[in-house]
Amino acid sequence: MARGIQVGDKAPDFTLPSQSGEQVRLQDRIGERVVVLYFYPKDNTSGCTAEACAFRDSHEAFSDAGAEVIGVSSDSSDKHAGFASKHQLPFTLLADQGAKIRKAYGVPAVMGLIPGRVTYVIDRTGTVRHVFNSMTNIDGHVGEALEVVRKLQAEQPA
């Protein structure tokens, strides 16, 4: 099995449909902002809902620090639309049906079954600067990502 994407690697580019059905290309989002790309198992499960709501509650902090949050799971755009509206999620959710992008990033499955929960922070050059992998430490995904985003913002030339 290929090793997953690590810090220092170029983030694999992709295009996936969002919850509104719009095609979103990673390369188009990088450059303007730092991208916090988080892979999660499934819409509307307790852990995923807690994680999405934690990113929602920190959305302003991410925006202020020049970052965009994008969530990815294998659910359909329609399921994402329902999930996003139910929890008032202000960020993009992408439908990775067939899990091609999850595989491209090497996101592990837990016990070979449950899609893993991994967050990547990708800087404006498309380089992965941080990887956080934990099924249970929801706050760690948000807290560590925000810390890295703020560091990257501080490194930006004025």
- Among all residues, which ones are annotated catalytic? 48
Spatial separation of the C-alpha atoms in residues 4 and 56, rounded to whole Å: 27
Residues 6+ away with beta carbon under 8 Å from 82: 43, 44
User: What is the CB-side half-sphere exposure of residue 130 using CA atoms within 13 A?
Assistant: 22
Nearest residue to 134 (alpha-carbon basis) of 126, 123, 124, 145: 145
Give the integer Cα–Cα distance in Å for 118 and 135: 8
Strands 34-39, 118-122: pairing kind: antiparallel
What one-letter code names the amino acid at 16?
A: L
**Residue 151 bridge partners (DSSP):** none
User: Exposed/middle/buried for 121, CB within 10 Å: 0-12, 13-18, 19+?
Assistant: buried
